[in-house]
């Protein structure tokens, strides 16, 4: 479906797939997330944690998962911290 049409109709999109093991594990928690972007960040953080990079910082994880910026990962963690209190 055309992305513009999807936005106009406010249709939900599916999360971008990652590696199979991360997708399978994170699928158990998918219902906890209202927005697909948050669910994707959840998956990206898991990918970063199991990756072979030395530093597990958000900027380094963003590079591994091909994100342009670590900002979305930061916002996810900041929001999660506020909600879980």
Give residue 62's pLDDT. Answer: 93
pTM recorded for the entire structure? 0.78
Could you report the per-residue pLDDT of 38-53, keeping only the tens digit for each?
A: 999 999 999 999 999 9
Give residue 18's pLDDT. Answer: 86
Nearest by Cα to 16 from 39, 32, 35, 33: 39
- HSE at residue 40, side-chain half, CA atoms within 13 A, is 15
- HSE at residue 27, side-chain half, CA atoms within 13 A, is 11
- HSE at residue 49, side-chain half, CA atoms within 13 A, is 9
**Would you tell me how many other CB atoms lie within 10 Å of the CB of residue 85?**
4
Give residue 42's pLDDT. Answer: 94
């Amino acid at each position: 479906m055309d992305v513009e049409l999807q936005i106009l109709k406010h249709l939900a999109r599916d999360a971008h797939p990652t590696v199979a093991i991360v997708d399978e594990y994170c699928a158990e928690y998918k219902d906890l997330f209202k927005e697909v972007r948050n669910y994707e960040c959840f998956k990206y953080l898991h990918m970063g944690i199991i990756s072979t990079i030395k530093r597990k910082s958000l900027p380094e994880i963003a590079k591994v998962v091909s994100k342009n910026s670590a900002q979305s990962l930061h916002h996810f963690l900041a929001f999660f911290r506020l909600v879980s209190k």
